Structure 1
Amino acid sequence: MRCRLCDSYRLSSVLDLGATPPCEKFLGADELDLPEPTYPLHLRLCDDCLLLQIPALITPEETFTEYAYFASYSDSWVKHAEVFILQAIEKLGLGPESFVVEAASNDGYLLQHAVAAGIRCLGIEPSVNVGAAARLAGVPTETAFLDEETAAKIRAQHGPANLVVANNVYAHVPDLRGFTRGLRELLAEDGWLSIEVHHALNLMRLGQFDTIYHEHFQYYTVLSAQRALASAGLTVVDVELLATHGGSIRLWARPEAVAGAPSERMIEVLRTEQAAGLHDVEGYRDLQPRADAVRQELLRFLLEQRAAGKRVVGYGAPGKGNTLLNYCGIRSDLLNYTVDRNPYKHGKFTPGTRIAIHAPERIDADRPDVVLVLPWNLEAEITAQLSHIAEWGAHLVYPLPTLHIADLDNGADLSNQNIERPAR
């Protein structure tokens, strides 16, 4: 394996999750008796540029041409996008003459707010089904994968963008340098680029190993993101720390000719990373034992619930959940089924573990004893949605960053020792 940013062959093992199927390859009932391909899921660190990465064993075309993820099914994520657009309008002085482009714009969850504000915009979305949903919502959307050629065509047709947004896509591109050059091509000479991506500081510090899956090809610190963007003449000038997706960073970058000095908060985040050991190879050694500990604790809990005759079901069928289920070896004997708000997934089965996916109403009909939440990063939103399960005495359990039960009376979290365990 060669580093996709600096071409170094010096890569160190950080976390080996075994072999799993692609996390968004949900199975139909007619596929349950068919073979299912799996691929190694092995996180490595480039010793030279410190980019965390996995081998590119699947192509974006395999994953994103028909996609199961619709961003608008998360209320909190749609609100997050609305706040971003309103803040960007004020920060950058955007108006009717401005042009905003989003790469991997999904179902229009973000650009719908630009449309509502009267700002000219365009989404670039590779998934045919998801892009169609965006157009139905009134968001101009080009069905394409962003690369240099696509970016040049869009710039020639629409002009340069004052703001380019790339939320939760910078990890999804195996051709990292080519994609970055595409972002630069879209951008006006005095424009702004905003990227949101999961922060590797939280991956390492909190053991968030389920954020690793085959469509996430790389994982960023601010330092490694700086180096990646510099490959196309883009300079990071500011960083915001966000709570989304278990802890993300919002990178603000500009063409290097107009970038200026970095902000104080960016310098402070870099200091924090360095203090955590992430500017050195040795700082990445603890992730494997942390992942192993989470697996053992979760399996112990589920086995004890089964021994006590408790019924456990899941909530959500996200990509991170499929990494967790496969790594832990959790199947329908321990998790009867899971539910999801996205109708696209109803009647399908999770990849690898083959757990049935139903509509959320199934939980109210069945009244299980325990609901295990797989998209744990949406804890506040989901705890509010499911607080009513306390009416029949059910527990709402989150597996990460540590196994804990949500207090359905006030939304607070209880510590691990408050999980009821049957006597051995």
Structure 2
Amino acid sequence: MIQQPLVKNSALKETTYSADHQCPNCTHQGLSLFYEVRNVPVHSCLMLSTQQEALDFPCGDVALGFCDRCGFVTNVLFDSKWSAYAPNYEDQQSFSPTFNKFALDLANRLIEKYDLRDKDLVEIGCSKGDFLLLLCELGNNRGVGIDPSVVAGRVKSKAADRVKFIQDYYSQKHAEYVGDFICCRHTLEHIHPTFEFIRTVRRSIGDRANIPVFFEIPDTTRVLRDMAFEDIYYEHCSYFTPGSLARLFRSCGFEVTDLYRDYGDQYLMIEALPVAIPSDKIHPLEETLEQMKEDVQYFATNIKNKLETWKQNLEQWQAQGQRVVVWGSGSKCVAFLTTLNTIDKIQYVIDINPHRHGKFIPGVGKEIKSPEFLKEYQPDRVIVMNPIYCDEIGQMLNEMGVVTELVPL
């Protein structure tokens, strides 16, 4: 089987203004386009059973546009018809000890800060329910989780009988589920009409001024400054920095009470309270629009060189006959391989999530292997999609007797 090149990449050295596109975050007409990746899989985490199914997976285009009114970045070519999340959307991260420690620390911090004990909690976009169950177990809380990909019973927990899961997309029809605390983690970046989404959350709260909300998303400041092209993919149609996120929440009737980064500065967190009178409080972490413009221009000017360097590395390693694998089969992996158009340079992809093993990656066609596969394969290099896991991966490889070089992105 001959696999055809997937991507025609176009890193624009200068931003190009387009009056045709409206910002979904503030409704301003006109965006500056600065990065394009064509013909990429419309989903990265849907698990497919055969290689052919993976190779035939639908593709779409990414063209990032920057709004100079609110600082928001969006994929202007995003088509919501591909937002088909289902139980076979596999994004569960709780098989990693590193991630579990982060989640446990975060849950304990929120419980202490907001006295989440014997309370009613709501999580919008709860995935498989790990975090909501953790909050309910640690604080003896009750919970409602809403997500089209949720699988009730997947995560075992002592709090399972106190948590209700709704397999659906969050919308106005779920406004009755407010409780005493609302959280939403790694969902807003998948939402194209961001203003309408946050307004829906605000309307559901009504005049109850003491309901805190907590959102967690990827931080786009890091993506731009580190030229982290592996974090740009089709499902992520919305890209936030501290400033654009805070402006959105204020415009929708919230006051930002805290704004911070975590998880190696990869994640951006916002905490807010509903207010009746629009808030004008600016958090110190918020960047100015001028700073955001500089970050966008830096990315546009330098990303091509970074892509070329990675292409040359992969080609050189292949020419030398080296065995190179990727560790991490999620969205970063799909973006890494398709953006570079070097799928043929990597033979195997490794993941610790057992629900991914034996499945095939959309648009890439590689079968996902378990870490134990490396005992026999003995790779020369392991490209780690997320550097925060290097220590964890290195320890696993040592325990398996695999001697190799870890190459973090």
Query: What TM bracket, shorter-length normalisation?
Result: 0.7 to 0.9
Task: Note if contact 2:52-2:365 (Cα within 8 Å) is conserved in structure 1.
Answer: no
Could you tell me which of 179, 193, 203 is aligned with 2:197? 179
Task: Note if contact 1:17-1:40 (Cα within 8 Å) is conserved in structure 2.
Answer: yes
Q: Offset at 1:322?
A: 0.5
- Runs of 5+ unmatched residues, structure 2: 1-20
> What is residue 274 of structure 1 aligned with on the other side?
288
1:2 equivalenced with 2:13 (yes/no): no
Could you tell me which of 352, 373, 376 is aligned with 1:362? 373
Task: Note if contact 1:57-1:214 (Cα within 8 Å) is conserved in structure 2.
Answer: no
Q: Offset at 1:343?
A: 2.7
Could you tell me which of 110, 124, 139 is aligned with 1:103? 124
> What is residue 251 of structure 1 aligned with on the other side?
270
1:153 equivalenced with 2:176 (yes/no): yes
Identity, % of aligned positions? 23
> What is residue 71 of structure 2 aligned with on the other side?
50
What pairs up with 1:100-249 in 2 under 5 angstroms?
100-116=121-137, 117-128=139-150, 130-134=151-155, 138=160, 139-150=163-174, 152-154=175-177, 160-187=178-205, 188-244=208-264, 247-249=266-268
Size of the aligned set, in residue pairs, is: 381
State the alpha-carbon separation in 2 of the partners of residues 316 and 290 from structure 1: 26
1:70-89 C-alpha deviation (Å, 9 max, x unpaired): 13223222222221221122
Task: Note if contact 1:100-1:119 (Cα within 8 Å) is conserved in structure 2.
Answer: yes
Task: Note if contact 1:4-1:175 (Cα within 8 Å) is conserved in structure 2.
Answer: yes
State the alpha-carbon separation in 1 of the partners of residues 251 and 291 from structure 2: 24
Could you tell me which of 371, 375, 384 is aligned with 2:382? 371
1:394 equivalenced with 2:387 (yes/no): no
Residues 294, 310 of structure 1: alpha-carbon distance in 2 compared, 3 angstrom cutoff: same
State the alpha-carbon separation in 2 of the partners of residues 28 and 66 from structure 1: 10
> What is residue 7 of structure 2 aligned with on the other side?
none
State the alpha-carbon separation in 2 of the partners of residues 236 and 49 from structure 1: 16
> What is residue 41 of structure 1 aligned with on the other side?
62
State the alpha-carbon separation in 2 of the partners of residues 63 and 106 from structure 1: 10
TM-score by length of 2: 0.85
Name which structure has the greater RCO, CA cutoff 8 Å, separation 6+: 2
The CA RMSD measured in Å over matched residues stands at: 2.6
Q: Offset at 1:186?
A: 4.6
Q: Offset at 1:25?
A: 4.1
> Residue type of the partner of 1:153?
E
State the alpha-carbon separation in 1 of the partners of residues 59 and 23 from structure 2: 22
- Runs of 5+ unmatched residues, structure 1: 155-159, 400-424
State the alpha-carbon separation in 1 of the partners of residues 289 and 58 from structure 2: 40
State the alpha-carbon separation in 1 of the partners of residues 291 and 280 from structure 2: 25
Deviating more after overlay: 198-207 vs 16-25: 16-25
1:304 equivalenced with 2:316 (yes/no): yes
Q: Offset at 1:327?
A: 0.6
1:189-229 C-alpha deviation (Å, 9 max, x unpaired): 21111111112211111111221111111111122112222
State the alpha-carbon separation in 1 of the partners of residues 58 and 143 from structure 2: 39
State the alpha-carbon separation in 2 of the partners of residues 360 and 3 from structure 1: 43
Task: Note if contact 1:317-1:375 (Cα within 8 Å) is conserved in structure 2.
Answer: no
Q: Offset at 1:237?
A: 2.0
Residues 100, 32 of structure 1: alpha-carbon distance in 2 compared, 3 angstrom cutoff: closer
Q: Offset at 1:66?
A: 3.5
> What is residue 63 of structure 1 aligned with on the other side?
85
Residues 306, 276 of structure 1: alpha-carbon distance in 2 compared, 3 angstrom cutoff: farther
The structure richer in helix per residue is 1
Task: Note if contact 2:378-2:404 (Cα within 8 Å) is conserved in structure 1.
Answer: yes
Residues 89, 186 of structure 1: alpha-carbon distance in 2 compared, 3 angstrom cutoff: farther
Could you tell me which of 39, 63, 71 is aligned with 1:19? 39
> Residue type of the partner of 1:341?
I
SS at match of 1:343: coil
State the alpha-carbon separation in 1 of the partners of residues 251 and 234 from structure 2: 24
Residues 319, 31 of structure 1: alpha-carbon distance in 2 compared, 3 angstrom cutoff: same
> What is residue 76 of structure 1 aligned with on the other side?
98
Q: Offset at 1:354?
A: 2.0
1:93 equivalenced with 2:105 (yes/no): no
> Residue type of the partner of 2:329?
A
Residues 102, 233 of structure 1: alpha-carbon distance in 2 compared, 3 angstrom cutoff: same
State the alpha-carbon separation in 2 of the partners of residues 261 and 385 from structure 1: 49
State the alpha-carbon separation in 2 of the partners of residues 213 and 33 from structure 1: 17
Q: Offset at 1:164?
A: 0.9
Task: Note if contact 2:250-2:280 (Cα within 8 Å) is conserved in structure 1.
Answer: no
